[in-house]
Amino acid sequence: MTAQVTSDYLISTLQSSRQRTLELLEGLTDEQLIGPKLLIVNPTIWEIGHVTWFYEFFILRQENGHQPLLDRGDALYDSIAIAHDTRWDLPVYPLGEMKEYMATVLDTLIARLDGGLASERDSYLYQFTAFHEDMHDEAFTWARQTLAYPTPVFQPDGAAAAQRLAVTGALDGDADIPGGTFRLGSQPDDGFVFDNEKWAHDVVVSPFRMARAPVTCGQYAAFVEDGGYVTDAFWSEPGLVWRREAGALHPVYWKRDNLGSWQVRLFDKWRDLTPDAPVVHVNWHEANAYCLWAGRRLPSEAEWEFAASMRPDDDGDDDGEGPGAGAGGLTKADYPWGNDSITPDRANMDGFGMGCADVADYAAGENAWGCRQLIGNVWEWTADTFNPFDGFAPDDYKEYSQPLFGATRVLRGGSWVTRSRYINSKYRNYFPPQRQDIFAGFRTCAIS
């Protein structure tokens, strides 16, 4: 059951998502809007059509019986029906016509909302389709990174970035997480829920020790310098296959300068490596190789969610019977810090910081045991394969999760560019283990 939200909230969410999409089109030439044919990106001029078609198909047409707004929309922009490699060769609509289509669909969506509290159905569909645009905006952003396009400029919107004093430096050491029985996943009364979070079920987590912060660039550089990419013993068999095929000797956006120091590319600019920022753009194979070198391991998905959601019981009687309670006097919350929403002092999200913060930053976002930045900064790889929970059933967009079960790995927490409005401690992301282009890093756990 999706909690009802106001029409004003839905409208502001739509407008915020669309503002970001338009900002990500700025500064790109006609050639860059098409770009090279790569497995990990889409042609931007095609992708903006897909995003808008998605709203039109699921809300205006499928839910409300509207006639198609584009003569060739279904033949061009249905991502399930259209093979990835063909998208560069399609006779897509030019940018001017596409912007008109985007505006028409947005105006029509807004006109359907009559003020006050939206219906439960509209509350779900409008949020899901807007979050779908948010996810593509993150994809547009990593595509600009992949292709070394100019740095985008994000203007304040409804999630405007507050002025804050950044904290720099390292955050070493482990947190002792007590473990216990808890409910992994989402419950029907949690508000908006993605299909792969259904439904919460009991999981037993043994006590474990988790790093207080993600692995930093400085820590990862030590692995590289110690022969991490040329020592086969640190790599699994699939990891070795990937490393050899890719010819990888270091993270994908690193290079040496003339003095032998490391530089890291962010969009079209090379900068000196920031040792206390989390390493980013490393894949699951690289994360596991680092863990073997360091004598550590990735957290399981259940361990990660336990650390990001469980807190000492605060329902007043310390009996572990509060909302979402687990064993041992712990209660499940939406975020590491509790149930209060994400704010700019708790997590580096929404893109306004334009890059990763040092791991010592965002102390207000700590969990009860001192782990920082579980939400925001970088997506965090977990050890687990992305699989359905028992009783899984797809929602309206049946291809959102189901085709990726068994073939991808779970990431948690969101990145600096992820929109905070759809992230919480239960959100599950999923990518193939070889993907380096996403804004992903990792944190480690001690081996007991």
**Contacts of 314 by beta carbon, 8 Å cutoff, 6+ apart:** 322, 331, 338
Both 66 and 193 in one domain: the answer is no
Angle 152-23-78 (CA atoms, 0-180°, nearest 5)?
110
Look at strands 208-211 and 269-272 and give their pairing. Answer: unpaired
**Cα distance between residue 98 and residue 96, in whole Å:** 5
Range of the domain at 58: 7-146
Length of the chain: 448
CB atoms within 10 A of CB 61: 17
| Same domain assignment for residues 423 and 392 | yes
Mean pLDDT by 10 residues, the chain (448 residues): 94 98 97 97 98 98 96 97 97 97 98 94 98 98 98 81 82 97 95 97 98 98 98 98 98 97 98 98 98 98 98 57 58 97 96 96 98 98 98 96 97 98 98 98 97
Which of 77, 111, 146 corresponds to the end of one domain?
Answer: 146
CATH number at 202 reads 3.90.1580.10
Q: What are the backbone dihedrals phi and psi of residue 445, each rounded to the nearest 5 degrees, phi first?
A: -125, 155
CB 40 within 8 A of CB 437: yes
Dihedral sign of CA atoms 129, 44, 84, 242 in order: negative
Residues 428, 281 within the same domain: yes
Contacts of 317 (CB under 8 A, 6+ apart): none
Residue 163 gets which letter from DSSP? Answer: P
- Domain end, chosen from 114, 146, 178, is at 146
Co-location of 117 and 169 in the same domain: no
Whether residues 53 and 180 share a domain: the answer is no
152 domain-assigned: no
Q: Residue 88, exposed/middle/buried by CB under 10 A (0-12, 13-18, 19+)?
A: middle
Question: Do both 178 and 126 map to the same domain?
Answer: no
Q: What total number of domains does the chain contain?
A: 2
Asked if 108 and 216 sit in the same domain, the reply is no
- The confidence score (pLDDT) of residue 320 equals 40
Same-domain pairing of 109 and 235: no
Both 179 and 38 in one domain: the answer is no
Kindly state whether residues 80 and 222 are assigned to the same domain: no
Q: What CATH number is associated with residue 117?
A: 1.20.120
The strand pair at 379-385 and 440-441 is best described as parallel
- The verdict on residue 1 lying in a domain is no
Quick one: tokens of 93? 């609509």
151 within domain boundaries: no
Q: Is residue 155 part of a domain?
A: no
Q: Are residues 142 and 171 in the same domain?
A: no
Predicted pLDDT at 161: 57
Structural domain contains residue 301:
yes
Residues 104 and 68 in one domain: yes
Provide the pLDDT for residue 315. 44
Contact 129/59 with Cβ under 8 angstroms?
yes
96 in any annotated domain: yes
Q: Which of 88, 122, 146 is the last residue of a domain?
A: 146
Give the pLDDT of residue 114.
Answer: 87
Report the pLDDT value the prediction gives residue 157, as an integer from 0 to 100: 78
pTM, full prediction: 0.95
> Which among 33, 20, 253, 259 has a CA at the least distance from the CA of 131?
20
**H helix or E strand, kind and range, residue 357:** none
Asked if residue 17 is part of any domain, the answer here is yes
Domain assignment present for 165: yes
